[in-house]
Structure 1
Amino acid sequence: MDKETAEFLAKHPYIPTKFIALDAETTGLEAETDKIIEIAAIKFDLLSNDHPVFESLINPAVKLPRKITNITGITNKMLVDQPPFAELAHDLKAFIGDLPIVAYNAKFDKGFLDAEFANVGIVLNNHYHCALNLAKAAFSLPNYKLATVAQHCNIQLDEAHRAKADAIAAGRVFMCAAVTLGHINEIKPKSAFGKPKGADHKAYPPNEDGKLYGQTIVFTGELSITRAEAFEAAAELGLEIKTGVSKKTDYLVVGEQDENLVGPSGISSKQLKAQDLIDEGFDIQILDEDEFMELTKG
């Protein structure tokens, strides 16, 4: 260990000297039904400055949606000769060991890993750190896409939405945010309930070059980011922001609800209408805030 690293670790003893930075690319957003198509795990070893990599494309045994190819650049042809997750599960588990895992939007990656490992009888009990939540606590930024936070931390991210590049960036963002905060408690206190604060959705026209241009999105409930931040992120994706759910809605983002506003069910009228339309066969994706942030990542 060189002198500079020794001084860094002495100054920031709360940062793990060894951890796994991980990212999974997937066929969709639902861990119960969608599959991992690419996995990367980077073993950050700050003691030796050696960072081994485990990475692989994965054959999900299902056709890859076009929108995922548009986001990641990964095609069905690239996956057809790749191993299924079951074939590499034991090697991945051995590589991770009992080290803490860092991911950007850890809830998302953990959900998929738990589901995939469960299919082969493996339980992963490692502790997770969420670099996204840590970044939200550390920095005041217009949005918290991985690319935005990486740029703020002067971290290079050349191939966003590919597992290795995103995993490396997540690990470095984690350290940058931890140094800024002086701790690694990534839980951001929730603000008090109230009506979502102010932003005119009409002031955020969809980006015609966005990857989801031509689709629509609706928000309901309290998010940890402001409505303006949410609208900006959605518009950048090319999404048209609407105030009400209809048959033309593609995404509904559901935040935490105030029962004083929506009643004891805790479910807003927008979500109830979306669920009714889904039952009728309309393709509306209901996302929580973490899933929305994953959609905007990179």
Structure 2
Amino acid sequence: MDRTHEADAASPHGTTPPWTRVIGVFDLETTGVDVSEDRIVSAHVGLLDANGSVILARNWLADPGVDIPAAATAVHGISTEHAREVGAPACDVVEQVTDTLRSLLDAEIPIVAYNAAFDFSLLASEALRHGVTPLRSPAPVIDPLIIDKAYDRYRRGKRTLAVVAAHYAVRLDDAHEAAADAVAAGRIAQALAARFAGLLPARAEELHTAQIAWARSQAASLTDYFIRSGRLDPDDRVDGRWPVR
């Protein structure tokens, strides 16, 4: 890459990238962690301004059509009985969430999601399950987990949303509630952009492309670690596809 391209691809020193001015935020709470088989229980899509203030918020509660395991209820607090009584049909929620995200992306607003490959992959599986056209290659997506690992690779400790929010001094009062998690993820993305101004790509589309490579590299490193520690068979691999597996 020549110096002209370097200057074009990165933010000027000391200024945050322009994509931080208005960002979409997205989070799901689910029946479990299997992106192919588990179901959406609640969802949030919103917009934040450059200061991290909420300027648009939309929440959904779904009846997932299956029992919500006790372990999942213990995480997000939503029981099978409550979801059945109050939740909208899953097919309606999946369609509305997908359409809302699509409209933001069509408006060239980047969508922030923490561990985006989970949320977007599960949403795509749900879309196919309910006959909704899925978001097969949503872009641009901003994933604070991927970015944090790329720019602070050797920091010790967990990288859960709560831990990373605390590290970047982002308030998270109600972890595992879709709206709270989504907003915190957006503010972490903005904090990352401020901290690494001059290093991050200036355009959301370029950052999206970079994250594809970073996610693949991080999955390869995690695969090697799991194999060395005996947690993964030598022939298995951590899936590094991003933002949809």
Change (3 A) 1:48 1:155: closer
What corresponds to 1:84 in structure 2? 89
What corresponds to 1:111 in structure 2? 121
Contact 2:46 2:54 in 1 (8 A): no
What corresponds to 2:243 in structure 1? none
How far has the Cα of 1:137 moved from its partner?
A: 2.2
Q: Work out whether 1:22 is the aligned partner of 2:26.
A: yes
| Aligned residue among 128, 131, 144 for 1:120 | 131
What corresponds to 1:176 in structure 2? 191
Extract unaligned runs of 5+ from structure 1: 1-9, 197-219, 228-242, 245-251, 269-287, 291-298
Aligned equivalents of 1:289, 1:32: Cα separation in 2: 13
Contact 2:43 2:97 in 1 (8 A): no
| Letter aligned with residue 90 of structure 2 | F
What corresponds to 1:102 in structure 2? 112
Moved more, 80-89 or 61-70: 80-89
Give the match's secondary structure for 2:25. Answer: strand
Contact 2:61 2:93 in 1 (8 A): no
How far has the Cα of 1:147 moved from its partner?
A: 0.7
Choose between structure 1 and 2 for higher RCO, CA contacts under 8 A separated by at least 6 residues: 2
Contact 2:32 2:72 in 1 (8 A): yes
| Aligned residue among 52, 57, 61 for 1:53 | 57
What corresponds to 1:135 in structure 2? 148
How far has the Cα of 1:120 moved from its partner?
A: 2.9
Aligned equivalents of 2:16, 2:239: Cα separation in 1: 30
Aligned equivalents of 1:66, 1:173: Cα separation in 2: 30
Contact 1:15 1:178 in 2 (8 A): no
Aligned equivalents of 1:40, 1:72: Cα separation in 2: 13
TM-score by length of 2: 0.70
Higher Rg of the two aligned structures:
1
Give the match's secondary structure for 1:161. Answer: coil
Contact 1:150 1:173 in 2 (8 A): yes
Extract unaligned runs of 5+ from structure 2: 1-13, 201-206, 241-245
Change (3 A) 1:289 1:88: closer
Change (3 A) 1:159 1:83: same
Give the match's secondary structure for 1:21. Answer: strand
Q: Share of identical aligned residues, percent?
A: 26
Alignment coverage as a number of residue pairs: 202
Give the match's secondary structure for 1:173. Answer: helix
Aligned equivalents of 1:133, 1:84: Cα separation in 2: 33
What do you get for the CA RMSD once the two structures are aligned?
3.1
- Runs of 4+ deviating beyond 4 Å: 47-50
TM-score by length of 1: 0.59
| Aligned residue among 63, 68, 81 for 2:67 | 63
Q: Deviations over 1:203-228 (max 9, x none)?
A: xxxxxxxxxxxxxxxxx7426xxx9x
| Letter aligned with residue 178 of structure 1 | A
